[in-house]
Chains A and B, each alone.
Chain A
Amino acid sequence: MIRVEDLHLHFGGIRAVDGASVNIAKGSITGLIGPNGAGKSTLFNVIAGLYRPTSGKVWLDGEDVTGLSPHALFHKGLLRTFQIAHEFASLTVRENLMMVPAEQPGEVLWDAWFKPGRVRAREAEVRARADEVIDFLEIPHVADELAGNLSGGQKKLLELGRTMMVDAKIVFLDEVGAGVNRTLLNTIGDAILRLNRERGYTFCMVEHDMDFIGRLCDPVIVMAEGKVLTVGHPAEVMKNEAVIEAYLGRGLKNRKASAMGPA
């Protein structure tokens, strides 16, 4: 589905992504882990078109999409969430969600004035979908609140909700679970599984919570210092010496290994 080939992105002297090659299979929930500053978010940013890579290629379904604009990638069904939640602060939660679907006739002045019926019909459709998402995320009480006033965790939910507003092919989740309470985290996990099974979304997710990763993801990609260290089943990856060295730290080895449980 997504193939990343020898990707580099350098910020001046910092090699945020330094020759990463990644494959994400269609229909999978691929985990992406690694220490802070490993380049995970930067890799997402390059894939989603926010940054142009210094060198390397990104393929989506066999098509070279390197350097395409985020907007063009969105139209190809590639969605992403932000590690630091982004929102349209001066719009309500519902309006935030309703902003996502593209090509709404109300956006074209001509249609807005001369085909009000069509505009209204489409708007009702989008609104109904937004309400579904709001119910799904169990946030109906803040539906008409300005998104800027939400709590950090609620903003994370809104990030996830946005990806449910259209039929995506692949969704990149950058720490959607961070700062969200346990119960909600489970709900999010269930939502991801359901979207994966029922709607056929492919996911690639960065997460620091190993239980969460272990429950959802297979395979897991481990990054460190801009490079891919290893790829594999979560339980195997946790046993890998290089991963333990780079990520878990030696002292944590035993505790983490047992927390993962038997594969």
Chain B
Amino acid sequence: MDVLNALVLFLNFVMIPATAYGAQLALGALGVTLIYAVLRFSNFAHGDMMAFGTMLVVLVTWGLQSLGVSLGPLPTALLALPIGILGTIVLALVTDASVYRFYRSKRSEPVIFVIASVGVMFVYNALTRFVIGTDDQRFEDGARFVVKVGDFRKWSGLDEGLAIRTSQLITVVVMILTVAFVFWFLQKTRTGKAMRAYSDNEDLALLSGISPERVVRITWILAAALAVIAGTLYGLDKSFRPFTYFQLLLPIFAAAIVGGIGHPLGAVAGGFVVAYSEVMVTYAYKGVLTYLLPEAWRPEGLVQMLGTDYKFAVSFIILVVVLLIRPTGIFRGRTI
């Protein structure tokens, strides 16, 4: 019984939240990695693109709520998501046409693009804060739980309860659908193959029938859509605050690099690696150990390796270690 209780405790506070968080990071990292593979730079504005898109979703959600539109048990945000995606695609394409295209035509070094993306990041950031402010915004509605703690206790007869929030389940389902779509797109469609070709060898792609501008456009469309989906899922799961999204940049890049930057499968794997590490390292194991260990050995402290305030240190350490030991990541990066 104690073992089961420990397991449920662990599932409830580590596995379930980390899986949802991992799915969000995976989608974010997938966007970063696609941009890197095709446009060859690390897009520092990705976090703030997520924030901008999520802001649109929040605004549209509020609008729908005030009109009395709802999806029943599902969050209204799902209905607002396509509009947020469209708006963000427009933003990404306008940015590309007004900033990055100029440097592409000059065949600038990747570092120039990175610096330009930092500038873009500040602009997006200011735009978002100008419209919605810097505060926390909640926009989750519908049924809060799929599995409630009380119901689970009654059903299982255990002391510990297990809860699965609607937002967590939706996160995982949406992530699986999105990733499946992106992979199908890259593997099977002519456009997807053109993206992979462009990523493999830009010079050759330029000297064949592949239209570079079209490939770039499709890449931004995919990246923007992924950013808004990731941002909205994160916002539903936690809450929406522009600054948090800027901070997400670190775990997202850690995820993309752990997996092998430029490698879509790697980005997904990396998202989960980072999320599980972060949550496991910052979780206080006192409860779990109390169930598992004999009375005399029970810990008095929290048995927490790192305070949650330092959770970003985990991504940072992962990033540094990977870059030192295996810079190409789990999967060899730089191909899609």
Contacts and interface: CB of A to CB of B under 8 A. Distances in A.
Contacts, number: 83
A119 B190 CA distance: 9
Contact of B197 (A80, A88, A106, A166): A88
Contacts of B203: 50, 70, 82, 86
A112 B200 contact: no
Contact of A109 (B191, B200, B205): B191
A89 B206 contact: no
A87 B203 CA distance: 10
A79 B206 CA distance: 11
B145 to A, nearest CB: 37
A74 B211 CA distance: 11
B191 A112 contact: yes
Contact of B207 (A48, A87, A96): A48
Interface string A83-121: 000111111000110011111101111001000000100
A81 B201 CA distance: 13
Contact of A104 (B197, B209, B218): B209
A99 B214 CA distance: 14
Nearest to A92: B193
Given A86-B201, A107-B214, A109-B218, A91 B193 contact: yes
A101 to B, nearest CB: 5
Contacts of B190: 104, 106-107, 112, 119, 123
A159 to B, nearest CB: 9
A112 B194 CA distance: 13
Contacts of B287: none
Contact of B200 (A50, A89, A107): A89
Contacts of B210: 71, 99, 102, 107
B212 interface: yes
A112 B214 CA distance: 14
B204 interface: yes
Secondary structure at the B interface, as helix, strand, loop or mixed, is helix
A109 B211 CA distance: 13
Interface residues of B, number: 23
Given A88-B197, A90-B196, A99 B209 contact: yes
Given A107-B190, A107-B191, A112-B191, A88 B211 contact: no
Interface string A129-140: 000000000000
B208 interface: yes
B54 to A, nearest CB: 24
Contacts of A55: none
B304 interface: no
A102 B201 contact: no
A48 B193 CA distance: 24
B336 interface: yes
Contacts of B191: 106-109, 112
Contacts of A95: 193
A101 B200 contact: no
A80 B207 contact: yes
A82 B206 CA distance: 13
B200 A91 contact: yes
Interface string B135-176: 000000000000000000000000000000000000000000
A79 B210 CA distance: 13
Given A100-B209, A102-B211, A107-B210, 11 more contacts: A69-B206, A74-B207, A89-B201, A90-B335, A91-B200, A95-B193, A101-B209, A103-B209, A107-B194, A107-B214, A166-B209
Interface of A: 48, 50, 69-71, 74, 79-80, 82, 86-91, 95-96, 99-104, 106-109, 112, 119, 123, 162, 166
Interface of B: 189-191, 193-194, 196-197, 200-201, 203-212, 214, 218, 335-336
Q: Give me the 9 closest cross-chain CB pairs, A-B, nearest first.
A: A102-B209, A106-B190, A86-B204, A88-B200, A88-B197, A70-B206, A100-B208, A70-B207, A90-B335
11 contacts: A70-B203, A80-B207, A82-B203, A86-B201, A86-B204, A88-B201, A89-B200, A95-B193, A99-B205, A106-B189, A107-B211
